[in-house]
Chain A
């Protein structure tokens, strides 16, 4: 009897461990694998237009004839600048962490311009925050053009819907003028 109770307790512990591990790691791993496949030809910190199949994978609810461009950014070594240069019309630019948390989103009206820069940097961790609070040196509050990501990796996504499939190539070329890359100046220590 005691032996069965012991093994039931072990099974319960295994269940709790597996539950926590699955919740914490499996979704992020599956998504990272999918995004790495999409970005395999372009790498990180590069803006590129997704083919319709990958676009439908990332946003299955949106029409395939629209244009979606992404930049898989990595701010662990240096800040990254996303330089949008978008055509006229309705568009949405969104910054996600690699945990799918949307940390910034703007559309053509909110932006007021089709050409703008978003500076992406890594948000300070708890210890850095405490040190900065002690030193009275707080980082700039996130403005429309400066975004601090709680995760070192994430995605900048631009979605540009179009009315006809025949317009996709031209729209993709126009959206593809946007750029994404490390900032030239080193991150202040």
Chain B
């Protein structure tokens, strides 16, 4: 009996390690930091590279599809500019740092599951610019004046930037937004 239990334990532990390593490999494969000093990462090149199977699996596990290649660019941030994880207990300001593409969108979703019921977006068609032309969006749980992205109540958040690049913009350019933490509860 003890032998059977030991055998089951070895096999179950091996299977668990195998599943965990597969999941970890899928989540980390094909991920590229777009620019040092920014929190933005992309799987765009991963989808076209040797790890494309794993990069696609990342999307499939979340029940979603990757952006249309050559049409849309997508980057995500799971940390702020100071490399601290994004969490709903803090308020963040996303500020445009350079010219924006003709169409862009910022979404905040719960990490990993990208839960549809708590996704909020701001895009080029519905944001309000300041009088001097600058643009900033506050992401927080409670309402803020100006452009506001409602963040879901979650331990970890993901900001998703999508854009249709202009003809002279590269698909691998980092999103032109800073992600600064302002205050935490």
Contacts and interface: CB of A to CB of B under 8 A. Distances in A.
Contacts of A92: 68, 71-72
A10 B18 contact: no
A132 to B, nearest CB: 27
A94 to B, nearest CB: 4
Interface stretch (B31-39, B78-86, B135-143, B159-167): B159-167
A60 B107 contact: yes
A53 interface: yes
A17 interface: yes
Interface in B82-133: 103, 105, 107, 109, 114, 116-117, 119, 121, 123, 125-126
Contact of B60 (A18, A27, A53, A163): A27
Contacts of B125: 63, 161-164
B126 A54 contact: no
B18 A16 contact: yes
Contacts, number: 152
A23 B162 contact: no
Interface size class of B (residues with CB under 8 A): 35 or more
Do most interface residues of chain A lie in helix, strand or loop, or is the interface mixed? helix
Nearest to A28: B60
B126 A59 contact: no
Nearest to A32: B60
Given A15-B17, A19-B19, A64-B119, A31 B114 contact: no
A164 B66 CA distance: 24
Interface of A: 7-8, 10-23, 26-28, 30-31, 33-35, 53-54, 56-64, 90, 92, 94, 96, 99-102, 105, 107, 155, 157, 159, 161-164
Interface of B: 6-7, 10-19, 21-23, 25-26, 52-54, 56-61, 63-72, 74, 103, 105, 107, 109, 114, 116-117, 119, 121, 123, 125-126, 160-162, 164
21 contacts: A7-B10, A10-B10, A13-B14, A14-B15, A15-B14, A27-B26, A31-B59, A56-B119, A57-B114, A58-B63, A60-B109, A61-B121, A62-B105, A62-B107, A62-B162, A64-B119, A99-B60, A157-B68, A163-B125, A163-B126, A164-B126
